[in-house]
Amino acid sequence: MRITVIGAGNGGTALAAYLSLNGNIVTLYNRSEEKILPLVESKIIKLRGKINTSVRIFNATTDLKKAVMEAEVIMIVVPAYAHKEIAEKISLFLQDGQTIILNPGRTYGALEFYTTLKKNACSKDVIVAEAQTFIFASRLLRPGISRIFGIKNHVPISTVPATKNNSLKKIVKNVLEQFDVVDNSLYTSFSNIGAVFHPATILFNIARMESLPDKFEFYLEGISPSVAKILEEVDRERCAVAKKMGVEVLTAKEWLNYVYSVNEDSLYESIRKNKSYQGILVPLTLHNRYVYEDIPMSLVPISSTAKHLGMNTPTIDSIIQVGSVMTEKDLYSMGRTLENLGFKNIEELKEVLKGGTN
């Protein structure tokens, strides 16, 4: 298939190479030349870790129009705070029959993308879908070289509106075998495990990050037994809001078994025994996607949904508040609240997810 990957960062570079290995014609797009400059001429991506090989892709470009118009499938692999901007830009170039997949959507990513296309008067018949998670745990070592720490067994995926899921099933079987199409994007959105693992771990390790010169492992050292208790409470609140919305999602511990085949007695032990997390280091600064993506685009929509349902999410709300104090930004107002997404209530939101209006 002709596939364009949008974003040449930690995930996009690895995904472009992996899709090429599977026999697809892959174009890698990045807004700036910095991350793809070595690829513009060579077209060679080097993979390390779980896969050790060099892969030739079809093209690497900063020309968004060309990258989008020539694709059958468009894989969006950028932080969730950039989804809206990407939707606005590619709305000008989309063609009937194309499929757009957010990798991942975080919470309400496909919903935001779909409504943004509508607001920009894009009338093309396209599929907009979101993956629950990204297929790899990966890091960009330098432009054109990516390390894959682990590959997930399963990645749930769904469309907005849900009526497009049957069409999606016919397409994704030829994209990634790990994709499992589920009935509704409420499941993929509320199965957002990044909301559980990332923000609290960063915030409760900030003193160590800012005081010590040596980097440490994010999951295996950053998540102590006490931090894991906070993650479990965030997880409990997430699952409770999902259930009130009508979807049963896996707990974080169940999810680790589902995607990595790790099943220990506690969340803490499951994280420690997950080999795919070994070697992943903590970010260098508080100003990273674990904060600016996973708080406003993951925790905030869960909290906003809870408020509209008359539910309390005190642990999630406290993390949003502490993150806002540390960054000196109102992360709640920056995030995907129902109001910011353009909905007055839960019923309006569910109707768009189900049937596609707005």
The residues that are catalytic are: 198, 294
DSSP letters spanning 231-276: HHHHHHHHHHHHHHTT-----HHHHHHHHH----SSHHHHHHT-GG
Location of structure tokens 């990258």: 67
Residue 31: Cβ-neighbour burial (10 angstroms; 0-12, 13-18, 19+): middle
Closest alpha carbon to 73 in 170, 199, 189, 155: 170
Task: Say which residues have a Cβ less than 8 Å from residue 351's Cβ, sequence separation at least 6.
Answer: 357
Phi, then psi, of 144 in degrees rounded to 5: 90, -5
- Packing angle of the helix pair 225-244, 194-203 (nearest 10 deg): 140
- Packing angle of the helix pair 252-260, 225-244 (nearest 10 deg): 90
Closest alpha carbon to 334 in 355, 303, 310: 303
β-strand pairing of 25-29 with 44-49: unpaired
Number of H helices, E strands in the chain: 18, 12
- The radius of gyration computed from the CA coordinates of the chain, to the nearest angstrom, equals 19
